[in-house]
Amino acid sequence: MKGVVFDGERARVVDDLTVRDPGPGEVLVAIAAAGLCHSDLSVIDGTIPFPAPVVLGHEGAGVVEAVGAGVTHVAPGDHVALSTLANCGACADCDRGRPTMCRRAIGRPGTPFARGGRPVYQFASTSVFAERTVVRAVQAVRIPKDVPLGSAALIGCAVLTGVGAVLNRARVGRGESVVVIGTGGIGLNVLQGARLAGAAVIVAVDVRAEKEAVARRFGATHFLDDVHAVRGVLPGGADHVFECVGHPGLVREAIGLLDRHGQAVLLGMTAPTDEASFPPAAMFLDKAVLGCRYGSSRPQHDIPLYAGLYERGALLLDELVTRTYPLEDFAGAADDAHHGRVARAVLTFG
């Protein structure tokens, strides 16, 4: 079968991948569509260290082909959106409803794929840049068949991370103020999360002025191309600032934009060795800096919730898809994503 494999030096489309059958508690999914996230590009450029060779992709949707023993919540023919959280379901964090903190869901890459008789790693427990993948049952979330799979694919990362950061981690309140630095796929979902939460002022900041129209469509009440202009809109600072770029300098700027009792939420992926600095005295007015993994999500709860909001017209999914590409044109999709030409590039199969 076809898939995108990163061999440690470059990523390319191959046609000689195999994937094993699902074991107990696992699901085999035929991938219909997969979003290209910057995290995939970060594996290629080394920002995210990961063993190679590896099948890339972690944001996808498709149709269940087979299930292993003990799987009852999905069946062959079901449409599913995939989560990257291969949490165990039995540890203290899972029991508390915090699956993103499950230590068994962090790292531990498996090798369900093979190529030429050699094992190939799975990225983020999903590897959806392949015609088929095997995931843990907890990662496959059934969705209504009237939700287009090309749009549903984006729920599993961009939507869970962005909307979840607003609703689950920051818990933005009605009437509060929000600043979103960076309006890529994650930033746009932070914007619509803030809109869903009822924020009164939602300021989008991006150096690309051409992104204003889409930012406003997703919920921005203001658009700025310079982070230093935010104080002109919010003289006292913001209740919530989301850094969605992954730049240490912007982390400092995010903290500097906070009002009293404000909180900065860090979503952009920096390199493991990057450091950010800020004056500690700025924090004494009950300000906070929050990390956020995967939108603090509970995928089996949140994915159906977001699919339902989409069906009611409250959550934008189709509008996230700037352009679709056949799997064979992965290089073109990656180039467009790297240069910020798309909110989300979506790879299609078949």
pLDDT digits 0-9 by tens, 217-237: 999 999 999 999 999 999 999
Can you say whether residue 118 is alpha, beta or left, with left for phi > 0 and alpha for psi between -120 and 50 degrees? Answer: beta
Kindly report which listed range (177-186, 243-252, 254-263, 273-282) carries the lowest average pLDDT score. Answer: 273-282
Neighbours of 303 (CB within 10 A): 25
Confidence grade of residue 338 (pLDDT, cut at 50, 70, 90): confident
* Mean pLDDT computed over 31-47: 92
Burial 247-275 (b: 16+ CB within 10 A, else e): bbebbbbbbbbbbeebbbbbbbbbeeeee
Cα 218 to Cα 88, 152, 255, 312, 316, distances in angstroms: 34, 17, 24, 15, 7
Residue 282: per-residue pLDDT: 81
- Percent pLDDT > 70 in the chain is 99
pLDDT range class, residue 326, cuts 50, 70, 90: very high
pLDDT tens for 241-259 read: 999 999 999 999 999 999 9
In this predicted model, what pLDDT tens digit does every residue of 64-95 receive, in sequence order? 999 999 999 999 999 999 999 999 989 999 99
Cis peptide upstream of residue 144 (ω within 30 degrees of 0): no
Give the pLDDT confidence of 114-126 residue by residue, as tens digits. 999 999 999 999 9
In this prediction, residue 107 carries a pLDDT of 63
pTM: 0.94
Would the pLDDT of 264 be above 80?
yes
pLDDT at 78: 98
User: Mean per-residue pLDDT for 213-218?
Assistant: 97
Structure tokens, 4: 């995108």
